Structure 1
């Protein structure tokens, strides 16, 4: 009898497996079927796949959903807390009541119960949205409300379009993202991304229970600390109940494959798939810069990435700490509040409002009533109208410290934060100007206005005449919209371009120091007649740099075009280039670790500006130590834009047959195939990082134990957990271990072989400046398998590539 029961059971299992074999590749699993290791369901449009997988180098298995064309990108994991240690005999099945079960070795590893609804014929189906659902095949409706169970109700680390994030206090329901522990372990990590309804709704990244980033409050149009991403493809749906954000989701668009992921490092990144559906493009990263780090500048501090240092105190406040670099304690009032009519307010616009730690919110009060209400309470420190829709007014009052304020590029300047100060701290100039204007007779104002218009017209006419005369003296195609210097003036300033004034030489030509006056020093780049860079590079450098303004970019003062002479006039950098210090046995000692770290951060900020924040998106293409200039205070400035190119977007990849750059700094895809993008600059940034830390050049690096470059040497040390051996010996007394290790790891992330593995500059800057953040694990660096190059290979490299009978020749030109 027992034999008969066993035979019946075995036949049933074999029948079920046989049925499944016919449905492999289908999107549906039925109660008489199972999925075992190696078998999957595939969504109808072939986008998503569900089955068992092992992440990274892990030996454990999990049930998950991934993208079929990029199977390493997993967007949902079922048994995050219950890894399968032995996949033999493990299977997924759906019970007759609609429950999902992962079983193996006679025990239940993971289960998901239905919502309580009874289904006459439950099936498991993988939808094109990436949602794994249990539905009643006999049911008439296929709407989400009819789902008996769905994976979208249990998010992992990824939000897909159509998936709700929920914070519903009425039902007690919460849906939020939780990071993986690391790339090999999908169990819940330390970071989460969720809705927070504390007064006004905002999105927050937590590390445990500690905030590390917040979007800023919802103002009716968007989250005020995050400029809206202008793309018609990404549309969000928000559901509010009594000003409480109950749920939010991205509207599903079948033509766009996108995802939002909280990384194991705590960084939130949005990706979209390219047109070929085989690669992911990074759209944005949050936090996007150091000012996004929660409370970066402490209480009553305000953060601005365009300033050095990035932190400063609000008006009427002074730093608590004496050290300029320590802003953790924030600022304190210079004079105490008078608590009454003796206080006033100063307006601050274009900022993310402080966190609502202690607050009072009224949704109908006018802004004048709000001001009066604040003055009634001695603990009130600021007030604002939190809304920006339909003329709606309200009152938000802060009590106690004001924390996590930052200036937001492109923010709405009409939304103003009013900070309470004693009258003695308020500027009287604006008030006096206003009163003087009110007292001024109308006729006088009219006369002054008319005189101003006439004066303005005269200036415009004079300027136009002068400009026309200058243009007539120049070639038609050489108008570069930049102040023009006379050749005689520059010759006098440089002592007629004497050798004694020569301070450098590059691919462009010679560089001279000059003095326009006793106070103003200049650097003059003179185009050599034998230069490999000609008029095209000259114009390119002028056209690009004249539109760039950043404290970590060298400032172009003007140019000179007379006859055959082509001159560029720059601000003079007293300390020359970075390589003059970092590779010199004596001068390197002047660059202590704090100063080197400041230089690294300055270069990163400058490169981020070029890639993301400038009017033009610039790829530098020749980032190296000799193109990093240092001013009198050793602040870094990126220079030499002769090879730079504009780019349409972060993910655009261009190709050139004329590869120009500097050996040791060029990315593999650029040096070999002529392909360049912002990720090419990121590779160069990684080389710079490792050179600054080690004090050694990547090109020409030698080590007795192997033949790898500096990048390979750093990679080997990092794998052996000996990364601190890379550090320059002269830094032994000044280095900060956590910063050095972070710089080395970020450097290795930047020099990874494949461009899609490298971070964007916003992520680089965030990782460099964030203590305690778990960083991704770097993969093998570019050129890792290469040994030392021969001289002939260094001088000239050619690669040929045959494609349907055509031959493309890539020439590599050293500089």
Structure 2
């Protein structure tokens, strides 16, 4: 009996000692069962069975020991084991196999070469090797997991293709965070033409990092030499690949292709014990492949973002005017071939798609130009390598696609044009010089005329002149002019029964024109000192804007002191009539609310980036969001809007206008406004739509603090209780919690205190429409916290929160 007990104890201790000490390798005589793991020698990586998220399936994977949710490789990603019966073994021939409880092989490495004494070893690089135990040289492996990546690229892992063996290493997205099976997105080096890095959905390219120019991919100007990472691109007759290595071993970094197709670089932060998004591949719409079509460049900082190259015109002007640039541009003058053509130089570009290109690594740029000129099919040329004075030759044939302009970085490109286009350019330049001479010569004469004109101008009646000036602008924009009598008849002489609402600059009435068309009539107040300026703004801005999420201006009326605007009629009136009404808010289910949020975002993106002028609304609020019969949102009331030039991003004013509760801190306090001011207002709107509460009238007592809606949302966020913010009329939102939390997350990013921390609207639209990982928000502006009277204080009543919503028109910026 004693001998039996000793034997049991011995067996138990043997098993305990075997797996209590971390091991990094196994042989055919050992195995790893579910619950046991391999740990790399330095303790960086661990291999074992896991279940992602709430999934019940079990997978064999490799993860960082500091963060078990950061799985970098999965073996049986297509065939999960339904229970905890999985076993990892290595066969005598050197195959790694994953078995289920039925001893069925659910995954195998299919090692091509046999080993006499096979060993499976997990390295500190995260690479899983099969090698011969008699050979200690780790480079002589028989199989490695680095050759079969999943959705993560680790330092030292190659992304590319071996031309000898045909093996291609590419990243494939997972289907979701809970299903590591291969998704629909792929990141690979496209070897056709001059190799380039592309992301694909199925067989279509979604984004393109571009070709390598010796320092970086041309579509990633920010990929600069730095003390943290080394980047390398290798191209020879045997293989092509890209890899990165870490200069500083204390840095932990990985590239991940998300289930939505976005490539993000994550670095580990020891201070916060979490992963932080270092960079992302999708930052604006110009990253979408061939967004502007052929022979056009995309510039996210200009408006519109797409521009035809010199010597090219839009292929479809109708589509171009409707903000659909996918048809691209065509040559204005056909090429003459050989000596009849010239080259136009462009700088700071992302080079076009190189899949139909030809390259030579030793030719000079002059030789490259001559070679392109001799081939009638050659459309452009460039240096292959930009290091030093440049070297190599890259030629394009057929159309030039997927180009964008960078303010910093980019590359030179020489595009072929007919020589007559160069003559046109010279004539234009000469014409400009002549025109300048005529202007200077006429200046003295004009000055005298101007002085007489000013004297005459002052004597004219101010209102009459303003009316005529506005009428001339209307006629220039071909905006219909309505007769005052017709408008009075349509609104029953501006009857109070037809009044839809009243704002700071006048009233809005429902009207029915003689032909039966229902319209909304905005009658500016005669006593408004600012009415004429706001009227000019709306006329000049809205008449040029065409977007499904902007209210449409149908015409105007100017007679005597009357200044009237006629809009399309919105049967559901404004958003505030729904979300802040305890009865009507039940009509807004989550599907409609997210539809409204995304629609407002698209409308703002158009104003900030895609319209002819960069427009800052400055008074975005719930009452200025109108709803059509399908509850689609339309941004209205452009009386306070300002226009910017294509490269202007901010301005100052001494006259602060807008609505408390929606104004950004820098604008309310100092008169500084920009597109980020509208982003702040949008963030407030998002939180109001989610919660059903007004920011300005909201008051919540929390830890002896009076919090407005922004402060309350922030407190719930940092306490991981953000779902408590949702409107009670929405009921149980468990099934849509991810979407609701994403909206709250985006809203908090938009209302951050510092304008530079807030995303632009192109990023906001991307955040709302994809599963891209979002950065952490900082504390919002106007946090509005105030200490309450302590218990035992002589004051037994707490001061009520203000319920005023004030439109500011006369405050002075400090």
TM bucket normalised to smaller = 0.5 to 0.7
Deviation at 1:59, TM superposition (A): 1.4
Report the CA distance between 1:768 and its aligned residue: 2.2
Question: Matches of 1:151 and 1:779 in 2, distance apart?
Answer: 31
CA distance in 2, matches of 1:200, 1:16: 60
Distance of 1:514 and 1:419 partners within structure 2: 53
Matches within 5 A, 1:192-271: 192-227=186-221, 228-241=223-236, 245-251=240-246, 253-271=248-266
Q: CA deviation at 1:278?
A: 1.8
Match of 1:133 in 2: 129
Quick one: structure 1 residues 602 and 24, their matched pair in 2 at CA, closer, same or farther if it must change by over 3 Å? farther
Separation of aligned partners in 1, 2:802 and 2:230: 46
CA deviation profile, 1:551-607 (whole Å, cap 9, x unmatched): xxxxxxxxxxxxxxxxxxxxxxx9xxxxxx976669x9xx9999834443269879x
**For the Cα contact (< 8 Å) 2:597–2:686, is it kept in 1?**
no
Asked whether the equivalents of residues 715 and 748 of structure 1 are also in contact (C-alpha less than 8 Å), the reply is no
Please give the residue correspondences for 1:470-489 in structure 2 after superposition, counting only pairs within 5 Å: none
1:297–1:83 CA distance, 2 compared to 1 (3 A): same
Q: Which residue of 2 aligns with 1:796?
A: 786
State whether structure 2 residue 57 is matched by structure 1 residue 67: no
Equivalence map 1:711-750=2 (5 Å): 711=726, 747-750=743-746
Q: Match of 2:161?
A: 167
Task: Tell me the residue number matched to 2:381.
Answer: 383
Q: Cα distance 1:761–1:271, how it changes in 2: closer, same or farther (>3 A)?
A: farther
Q: Distance in 1 between matches of 2:602 and 2:24?
A: 54
CA distance in 2: counterparts of 1:363 and 1:394, whole angstroms: 4
Partner of 1:747, secondary structure, is helix
Aligned to 1:157: 151
Q: How far, CA to CA, are the matches of 1:109 and 1:426 in structure 2? A: 69
Shift of 1:356: 2.3
Equivalent positions of 1:29-44 (< 5 A) are 29-44=26-41
Secondary structure (helix, strand or coil) at the match of 1:223 reads coil
1:639-684: CA deviation from partner (whole Å, max 9, x where unpaired) = 8999xxxxxxxxxxxxxxxxxx998999xxxxxxxxxxxx999998
SS in 2 for 1:148: strand
Aligned twin of 1:344: 342
- The aligned counterpart of 1:84 is 81
**Partner residue in 2 for 1:303:** 298
Query: Quick check: 1:423 aligned with 2:420?
Result: yes
Contact 1:701 1:709 (8 Å CA) reproduced: no
TM-score, normalised relative to structure 2: 0.59
CA 1:27/1:513 → structure 2, altered by over 3 Å: closer, same or farther? farther
Query: Which whole-Å CA distance do the structure 1 matches of 2:245 and 2:285 have between them?
Result: 27
> Contact between 2:285 and 2:762, CA under 8 Å: does it hold in 1?
yes
Q: Is residue 279 from structure 1 mapped to residue 265 from structure 2 by the alignment?
A: no
For the structure 1 residues 328 and 625, does the alpha-carbon distance in structure 2 shift closer, same or farther, using more than 3 Å as the test?
same
CA distance in 2, matches of 1:404, 1:635: 29
**Cα deviation, residue 157, structure 1:** 0.5
Asked if the contact 2:38/2:122 (under 8 Å) is kept, the reply is yes
**Hey, what does 2:354 align to over in structure 1?**
356
The alignment status of 1:48 with 2:45, answered yes or no, reads: yes
1:345 Cα deviation after fit: 2.6
Q: Is contact 1:285–1:763 with CA below 8 Å preserved after alignment?
A: no
- Measure the CA separation in 2 of the matches of 1:662 and 1:395: 59
Return closer, same or farther for 1:38/1:352 CA change in 2, 3 Å cut-off: same
Decide which of 398, 418, 435 is 2:396's aligned counterpart.
398
1:674 matched residue in structure 2: none
Structure 2 match to 1:458: none
Give CA-to-partner distance per residue, 1:48-90, whole Å, 9 cap, x none: 2221111122111101111222212211111111111122x32
| Cα deviation 1:230-254 (Å, max 9, x = unaligned) | 5311112333315963453435753
Verify: 1:176 aligned to 2:170, yes or no: yes
Point out where structure 2 has 5 or more consecutive residues left out of the alignment: 1-7, 434-503, 506-527, 538-564, 566-572, 581-594, 611-618, 625-634, 654-658, 665-675, 700-721, 752-756, 791-800, 806-814
- Indicate how the Cα distance of structure 1 residues 632 and 364 shifts in structure 2: closer, same or farther if over 3 A, else same: farther
Contact 2:691 2:727 in 1 (8 A): no
Q: Provide closer, same or farther for how the CA distance between residues 355 and 597 of structure 1 changes in structure 2, counting only shifts above 3 A.
A: same
C-alpha distance in 2 between matches for 1:350 and 1:233: 26
CA distance in 2, matches of 1:340, 1:694: 67
Deviations 1:262-284, CA, capped at 9 Å, x for gaps: 01010000011113472112110
Q: Structure 1 residue 93 and structure 2 residue 89: aligned? A: yes
Q: Give distance in 1, aligned partners of 2:677 and 2:92.
A: 55
Note closer, same or farther for the CA distance 1:184–1:429 as it changes in structure 2 (3 Å cut): same
Paired residues of 2:194 and 2:357 also in contact (CA < 8 A):
no
TM (normalized to structure 1)?
A: 0.58
Deviation per CA, 1:757-802, whole angstroms, max 9, x where unpaired? xxx977983572599x75369999999xxxxxxxxx98735799xx
Q: What is the distance in 1 between the residues matched to 2:335 and 2:262?
A: 40
What CA deviation, in whole Å up to 9, does each residue of 1:398-432 have, x standing for no partner?
A: 2222110101232155x233242452465544997
C-alpha contact (below 8 Å) 1:194/1:204 kept by paired residues: yes
The residue aligned with 2:24 is 27
For 1:66 and 1:715, locate their aligned partners in 2 and report how far apart those are by CA, in whole Å.
39
Q: Are the structure 2 counterparts of residues 124 and 263 from structure 1 closer, same or farther at C-alpha, using a change threshold of 3 Å?
A: same
1:313 corresponding residue in structure 2 = 308
Kindly provide the CA deviation profile for residues 194-224 of structure 1, in whole angstroms up to 9, marking residues without a partner as x: 1122232221111111111111221222212
| Partner residue, 1:452 | none
CA distance in 2, matches of 1:281, 1:594: 26
Checking the alignment, whether the CA contact within 8 Å between 1:602 and 1:635 is kept in structure 2 is: no
8 Å CA contact retained: 2:231, 2:242: no
Q: Is 1:752–1:778's contact at 8 Å kept on the other side of the alignment?
A: no
Is the 1:25–1:41 Cα contact (8 Å) retained in structure 2? yes
State how far apart, in whole Å, the 1-side matches of 2:98 and 2:78 are. 13
Measured in 2, the distance between the counterparts of 1:392 and 1:173 equals 32
Q: 1:407 aligns with which of 405, 408, 411?
A: 405
Q: How does 1:522-541 map to 2 (within 5 A)?
A: none
The CA distance in 2 between the partners of 1:14 and 1:662, in whole Å, is 75
Q: Aligned in 2, Cα 1:52/1:799: closer, same or farther, shift over 3 Å?
A: farther
The Cα shift of 1:699 comes to 6.6
Displacement after TM superposition at 1:360 (Å): 3.6
Counterpart of 1:566 in structure 2 is none
Gaps of 5+ in 1: 1-10, 437-501, 504-511, 522-573, 575-580, 607-621, 643-660, 667-678, 724-740, 784-792, 801-811
**Counterpart of 1:596?**
600
Does the CA-based 8 Å contact 1:748-1:778 persist in structure 2?
no
Q: Equivalences for 1:573-722 in 2 at 5 Å?
A: 596-601=600-605, 686-689=683-686, 697=694, 711=726
Q: 1:156 to 1:372 in 2, by over 3 A?
A: same
How many residues align? The count is 575
The 8 Å contact of residues 53 and 62 in structure 1, kept in 2 or not, is answered as: yes
Partner Cα separation in structure 1 for residue 271 and residue 598 of structure 2:
45
SS in 2 for 1:231: coil
The 3-state SS of whatever aligns with 2:369 is helix
1:370–1:396: 8 Å Cα contact kept in structure 2? yes
